[in-house]
Structure 1
């Protein structure tokens, strides 16, 4: 670089350094924020599909038919390869090696106990690899050449150590499972009991108990055999279940792959259905519902985070434009001199654009490299686009200012551009009208698209357009407010207020750019705080709707003293009993109604506001009212005495998922033996273990009447499960980062204006000091100068941020995070207001600190003698 360029860069080192630092920070954020969000999406995808996610090819056929298609265990492995080859590319990339298994249907083990024992015999290749022998020997079965000799042969099995302890089984004991004779050769235990593999195979490790259709308690367990027993199982006519399981590898799941898995699953189902060389099979998986849930959460996350990201990008662009504009302002005298000496517009652009490029290009490249080195997530193409757009804006601004000021108009020195005195040009009016029209069109279009907008660029651009339109409005009103305040302060005795507002009114358009930057930063913060609060309140309401109280207990039947036992639990403040009866029918019509009998007044104490005010009789859901009408009706079913219901009001929902058609009646409506409770709602903060003990103590002595589907739901646990969902963490973390980054950029904008304009302000303050201005008054003057910008920008931006979720309407759909519960109460958390006030105080303190720092180095006589 030649001498003049070096001297020019040295004289303008302050704005150049500020521009370089801001470009560096903006580039780092442009890389890290999208990468971190993408990494959060990937982690949420893996967590949402579950560690136990798998894709299974299953068939239920008779053993003889299975033997004809798959004669040996080796043929099972061969079919695994065939099923694997049919997997579409995305599914093949995310699943592991296939694991095959063959299981019998559950058969009863003869036992004198009134509680039947059902045992399933299974050969599971994956299970055998995850077990260790704790007693006896592993099962060893061989098949002879003559199938008749194998019929009725004794099968060697292994059982879980826990199952053996429960049922009293010993090594060497012989049993009869259905028509098969089996002998227990060994007991096993899992190598890793927390392995996700066992989530869907709990019967192999422990027994499972439940009531059958006759109300009898039944115990289920699974016994394992080796591959050699395959022939023994298939040479009988009993039904067998063939399974080829492909476990989903969480480390291979990404957001991009997850998006294609739903279509791949449908293609895989079609491919399996078209196979004719083996018995008919089907694809069984729990991924369909999980993929649908994840897709809804992802769509909402992309929408709300796109709104926040666009606002943050606009704030960064505004700060960079401010720095570039201040650099151009510092070069105005030099450019005016060059223009007066006959320099062309191209010659004027060389120093202006060249200096900006000297600061921005290396900083942007360094920021991109630093962002990649931080390793916050996979690289995103949009990071390059954002950085390129920011660099282009910074380099284009000096050229635009040169054309505007020197393209055949009067020299800049003859023109006054104070905010309070500048005239509005037609060009500016057209530009402002265009921004407003684009903002209105964007809002209308995104509201029509609704939640399907996803990560549409139009949706993401709406906050920026609205912020720009509001910023233009504030800039329109801002001079009049300054003038009015100046006239009012002019009549006062103090000089600081009048001088501060007068100096604020004489700032140019570049000096007013911090107002727009602060407005956008406050909009991002207000939007994030509003959506986050709405999400929290929606999740709280969803937890109340799911549980109905601080805790809920349910069983087939409780004894009459259940309330006393529950109220005796430490932490319980109150409790109310209820009974839920399903499938009641009126005397005529096909309607099926769920009846909920509860003490309405007591429940209102347990969960205030969950019932209509002053209920006197039966409350019907909308579906029940439509089916039953508005008059009295009698409901009954076999085994339940008829009950007369007299409607007195409507109720939209009730906890516990009673379905669409239900009726809530006073508990006293139940009479006689049908008046036993099967649910208890609790108010307080009890321990789950203590509630579990109270539940067990409240069951009737007859196990056939209770003990099945015993449920304890705690509201705080339900709320914790929703708030700790992986995608919720991504949204909250991104909102927090965007708010902090936007606030930091806003503070940098204030500091940039103060620092770069410190020399000019120093001259003014020095002249005022000669006229008697004290140091304390100069500090107050710095505060007064910055106060109008802070209050107008932050206030307007904060209000826009609060209104933005309501403006965007159905696009910000938070129901995927609240279990389908609507979350439209967009009101900011009062705790966010102190944070906003703290940010304003921090900006004011920065103004005083900058004034103090430069005042300490200011030579009053030197400033006045320079004549600059």
Structure 2
């Protein structure tokens, strides 16, 4: 028995080797692709949290309330321990040690300076261990001291920039402080200093309103100094217990739990008694909530692509197992004719398949783990097990087919696809598959974006591809039959013979059609969505900036506008005049008047979305509700009143936020107004520094910077890479399916061609015959699959919602770009080249292939 099994394995080494290689590749990809994608999600989660993410428990108190709650450094540390113990487990896992500090409200520094000066007094426990004194002495305030100046320290850089020195005395309202020493950080690159820049150098702070900016810094207090300020004055302190968050330790699975636990921690802090009211200040929950939305979209969209890719891999494996079963049919028929039972048939058939599949799958799984592409996913092991199980069912089904047959049943029956009768069971299965696909689409569209990563989402493309595949298989024989009479009348015989040989394929031989269709569907879908995503991000950048660049802040005169237009690379510039704080006599609600030649701007920047085709005075929806109908007069101090009458509404114009109240008027209506801000929209290939030089003192925003901020988001990179890899892997499996069918059937085809060569077929005609044989399957499968892939984004509808990546702009489906179309053409050419190469490799001379009497 062992010897016969070895002989059978040697006789079928080609399909067994192909099945083993395909199993290894499928298992390897089943481990590596999900792991790599999940690793990308984890990197995106860490980037979303940010390297400087923190969580701060913060409260304000003054006088006796502050002194009774935090009388000493020990009390400050005890509160740190309390907050740390209250952290939920998910937060405690990524939070560092608490950093306790207390800082006064800003205190004005009297004197005449180039800019106003403010000073904070800060009691920061962690800072004292990270500085060295470079001048003077440490700021020590003994507990017994109750009068005189309070000693503080400032950084050497702060003192040098603002002209302070050791011994200087500052009057800060109710406080008088003396600079007793200057310090510098032990390590200026320590992350501790990043949220505390005012401890190292002066920082600019806004005074609010039109007060401009002031130079602010923080002077260090010790515990004794804090005690004196709290007990002797009513100065308010802001107490902070900062927990630095290790963003690198946050993965995609933590994001949702962290956001929820942060809300629970905030509620617990607000409800704690025995201390002044405290709250949790952190941008982490907003960042993680935004990331969760992007992650949901990515998993939904990529689930569609990866589900289709898994179906392609399964199809190729089933094809290889089916071809092996077809090669084993004569052997199984002979064994059955000699009285073998079905179990005795199943043992060699299933045993050979298991010998090829199981070790290869295990080796592929091990290789995938060794690649260390990312955290291993449980779904990988389940997918590999399911693939192995499905493949092992094929030889069992082949053995079951011989239950009523014998030698004749295995050798004499022909099951040509064109001549095959439609069985009722196959018809029922086809109808059931189509019905399941339709039901899946209906349920998916009803559930919308909430479907998320439900298996139904990943199954819809596979169901649609399989349903379209059975429909194409139904129509395929009729297309071949229709082509036969037409080709028969042509002078050449190659086309007719090629179609005739394509018609002789059985259902297993036509299985590449379904595999190629699924592969083309995956490629078409990924190319379409990828193009839609890129196009949506470009549209969002045009909407955000309004041109290739936008110059704003401060009035722009004719001379500055001329300098801008004269810059090298500038192809055009359109000015906007912006007047804020405008209102009507009957309603003082502030509005913004935007003066622009709308027709000129529309021609200048046709790619900016949502710019209406109307002209005249246009009102935003909020401004229309404020102004109402009819003619109104708009005015403000310093502006000549203008009378306007609405000619329509405008949802958005670059430079004005959505949902705000603004009025767009012709530029000439307010062209004479001076002293108000202007915006200049610039098109062309121009450098930001050149624009700043041409319009000094003004802010310049570049569209490419906005686009880069959207495209360089780690999650977007993951989506693009997965789409690219999915298209390449799907195309590679499709080509492997074609090559597999060609190689496995090459020997039998060589004998047929040898007969034709004896009848006068030339070598060149033999190559043409190979192309014609494969052309119907390639064209039908790739054409139908590509069209389905282009339509899938519209069919799946709400699931493919890419607005979290496009600034809220809907990324509608588009025809893929030239790279995708060239890739499709290249795949077809590779398949054709494979057919010719196999024909040449298995070219058999008539004298060696034919026997006497043939």
**Does the Cα contact within 8 Å between 1:159 and 1:222 map onto a contact in 2?**
no
- Alignment correspondent of 2:645: 646
**Does the Cα contact within 8 Å between 2:353 and 2:392 map onto a contact in 1?**
yes
2: CA distance between counterparts of 1:5 and 1:813?
Answer: 54
Among 398, 409, 432, the alignment partner of 1:411 is 409
- Alignment correspondent of 1:772: 760
The aligned runs of 1:478-497 (5 Å cut-off) are: 478-497=476-495
2: CA distance between counterparts of 1:496 and 1:676?
Answer: 79
Shift of 1:165: 4.3
Select between 340-349 and 753-762 the one with higher mean Cα deviation.
Answer: 340-349
1: CA distance between counterparts of 2:296 and 2:800?
Answer: 10
1: CA distance between counterparts of 2:588 and 2:421?
Answer: 76
The aligned runs of 1:183-262 (5 Å cut-off) are: 183-187=178-182, 200-209=195-204, 212-228=207-223, 229-235=225-231, 236-262=233-259
Shift of 1:731: 0.5
Among 153, 156, 166, the alignment partner of 1:157 is 153
Residue 622 (1) aligns with residue 608 (2)? no
Shift of 1:38: 0.7
Q: Deviations over 1:34-61 (max 9, x none)?
A: 1011111100000011111111100011
Relative to 1, partners in 2 of residues 1:592 and 1:506: Cα closer, same or farther, differing over 3 Å?
Answer: farther
The aligned runs of 1:604-615 (5 Å cut-off) are: 604-608=602-606, 610=608, 612=611, 615=614
Q: Deviations over 1:167-196 (max 9, x none)?
A: 233344332334332333555556666666
Give the match's secondary structure for 1:766. Answer: helix
Shift of 1:413: 3.2
Shift of 1:495: 1.1
Among 728, 731, 747, the alignment partner of 2:719 is 731
- Alignment correspondent of 1:787: 775
Shift of 1:200: 4.0
1: CA distance between counterparts of 2:723 and 2:487?
Answer: 41
Shift of 1:201: 3.4
1: CA distance between counterparts of 2:530 and 2:852?
Answer: 55
Shift of 1:516: 0.7
Select between 534-543 and 567-576 the one with higher mean Cα deviation.
Answer: 567-576
Select between 288-297 and 358-367 the one with higher mean Cα deviation.
Answer: 288-297
Shift of 1:687: 1.9
The aligned runs of 1:92-111 (5 Å cut-off) are: 92-111=92-111
- Alignment correspondent of 1:23: 23
2: CA distance between counterparts of 1:404 and 1:468?
Answer: 24
2: CA distance between counterparts of 1:361 and 1:224?
Answer: 70
- Alignment correspondent of 1:270: 267
**Does the Cα contact within 8 Å between 1:157 and 1:182 map onto a contact in 2?**
no
- Alignment correspondent of 1:39: 39
1: CA distance between counterparts of 2:709 and 2:401?
Answer: 58
The aligned runs of 1:295-444 (5 Å cut-off) are: 295-407=292-404, 411-444=409-442
Relative to 1, partners in 2 of residues 1:308 and 1:189: Cα closer, same or farther, differing over 3 Å?
Answer: farther
1: CA distance between counterparts of 2:556 and 2:638?
Answer: 18
Shift of 1:74: 2.7
- Alignment correspondent of 1:635: 634
1: CA distance between counterparts of 2:367 and 2:416?
Answer: 40
Relative to 1, partners in 2 of residues 1:622 and 1:487: Cα closer, same or farther, differing over 3 Å?
Answer: farther
- Alignment correspondent of 2:84: 84
Give the match's secondary structure for 1:645. Answer: strand
Residue 68 (1) aligns with residue 68 (2)? yes
Q: Deviations over 1:92-151 (max 9, x none)?
A: 111111111111111111121363111222233445556666x42564222323xxx435
Among 572, 576, 599, the alignment partner of 2:570 is 572
- Alignment correspondent of 1:865: 851
Select between 415-424 and 591-600 the one with higher mean Cα deviation.
Answer: 591-600
2: CA distance between counterparts of 1:469 and 1:740?
Answer: 23
Relative to 1, partners in 2 of residues 1:186 and 1:450: Cα closer, same or farther, differing over 3 Å?
Answer: farther
Gaps of 5+ in 2: none
Give the structure-2-normalised TM-score. 0.95
**Does the Cα contact within 8 Å between 1:560 and 1:677 map onto a contact in 2?**
no
Give the match's secondary structure for 1:411. Answer: helix
**Does the Cα contact within 8 Å between 1:175 and 1:181 map onto a contact in 2?**
yes
Gaps of 5+ in 1: 700-709
**Does the Cα contact within 8 Å between 2:555 and 2:674 map onto a contact in 1?**
no
1: CA distance between counterparts of 2:353 and 2:493?
Answer: 39
Q: Deviations over 1:396-451 (max 9, x none)?
A: 11212332443579824343211111011111111111111111111111111111
**Does the Cα contact within 8 Å between 1:310 and 1:461 map onto a contact in 2?**
yes
Shift of 1:6: 1.1
**Does the Cα contact within 8 Å between 1:578 and 1:598 map onto a contact in 2?**
yes
Give the structure-1-normalised TM-score. 0.93
1: CA distance between counterparts of 2:292 and 2:801?
Answer: 13
- Alignment correspondent of 2:291: 294
Q: What is the number of residues matched between the two proteins?
A: 849
Shift of 1:454: 1.2
1: CA distance between counterparts of 2:184 and 2:563?
Answer: 38
Give the match's secondary structure for 2:814. Answer: coil
Relative to 1, partners in 2 of residues 1:62 and 1:560: Cα closer, same or farther, differing over 3 Å?
Answer: farther
The aligned runs of 1:817-836 (5 Å cut-off) are: 817-836=805-824
1: CA distance between counterparts of 2:329 and 2:825?
Answer: 37
